[in-house]
Amino acid sequence: MIAIINGRFFLPDAKGDFAIVTDKAILCEGERIAAIVDAQEAAVLPAESIIDAGGGYVAPGFLNVHVHGCDGMDTMDDDAQALPRMARLQAKTGVTGFLPTTMTCAWKEVETAFAHIRQCMQKQPEGARVLGAHMEGPFISPAKKGAQAEENIRQADFSLVEPWQDVVRIITLAPEELPDYTFVTACEQTGTTVSIGHTAADYDTVMDAIENHGVHHITHLYNAMTPFHHRNPGVVGAALDSAANCEIIADNVHAHPAAQRLLYRAKGGKHIILITDSLRACGIGDGPSELGGQAVFVKGELATLADGTIAGSVATMNRCVAHFWQNTGAPLPEVIEMVTKTPAQELGLYAELGSLEAGKRADIVIFDDGVNIRQTIIGGKVFA
């Protein structure tokens, strides 16, 4: 058994909302949180069983539901070392579970990526756990393809996805490209979240999908979708005017700080999921890189295709948390819910992870006031 002491703990209150508590300790046994106890109860444990948080914040491990790559590797790489390397860098930035995200590539290549993801789900690598896949395309709009390759865009077909039901957790698509909602219904019946993204849909189409067809997720709000206009509210207007969970890349490149504030205020601090949408270039600095077979150029926080199109981010999750916290002035417990509780609920995993409660996985992150990661604990073991 280990005990985490001397921390500012994010614990759910009677309503389930996170609050900071300082007079507690977390006891972990094996891969689980055994109990949340008064601080003095942990004092009797031997020193080797103690993790002293040093006054830092102690939160559930971060969840990243949209990440293409990092540390020079990409989800689409046909390389058994790609996901393990990504898992290690994710853990260093506070992430304890993530969805490797596929691109609009040839379907054979997508299936190869799914096979690697399935293998890692069955035999988890060291670092952040692979929770499944986020399938971004190929069922998207050519008009809003962004950095996706248009030649690989295709009509939604559940027979393609059906063999991978155990792997695919989120599918990003353009609702206006669907002939009907049969595909969405099939996804709902198998527990796969359908997300609206890379879409030229209008406000009414998106609201119909949300209100009448059970769609409740928006991929990287503001990017690769119809913008807000006072006579044509677009996808952005529907996202802000509904209870759909909205991803946002809080890197100050994909979404201006003011746009982050507008999302926070429109949603009342709820239904927001911070993501990185990071590329293989994340964590390796400036220079040339690649995304889906396309050349990418990185300078500072900006990654673009040759024509200047923004092509994903080089952000890490701890930096996104810091940016959103600073930009919005939101209470930190609310921001932490955006990378823990809310994505866990979206994935149907909140009974297992996403909060610090007895019986849940001991996936925990300790960080300072600058959201610099001090320690990441995955399944009760300190990640080194």
Locus of tokens 């059906």 = 162
Active-site entry in 71, 74, 277, 363: 277
Q: Is the CA virtual torsion 260, 265, 266, 269 positive or negative?
A: positive
Q: How far apart are CA 367 and CA 381, in angstroms?
A: 16
Q: Any residues with CB less than 8 A from the CB of 239 and at least 6 apart, and which?
A: 196, 206, 218, 221, 246
**Amino acid identity at 376:** T
Active-site residue, 277 included = yes
> For the purposes of burial, counting CB atoms within 10 Å of the CB of 266, is it exposed (0-12), middle (13-18) or buried (19 or more)?
middle
Compute CA distances 4 → 33, 114, 361, whole Å: 11, 36, 14
SS3 232: coil
**Considering only CA atoms, which of 96, 154, 81 is closest in space to residue 378?**
96
Active site residues: 277
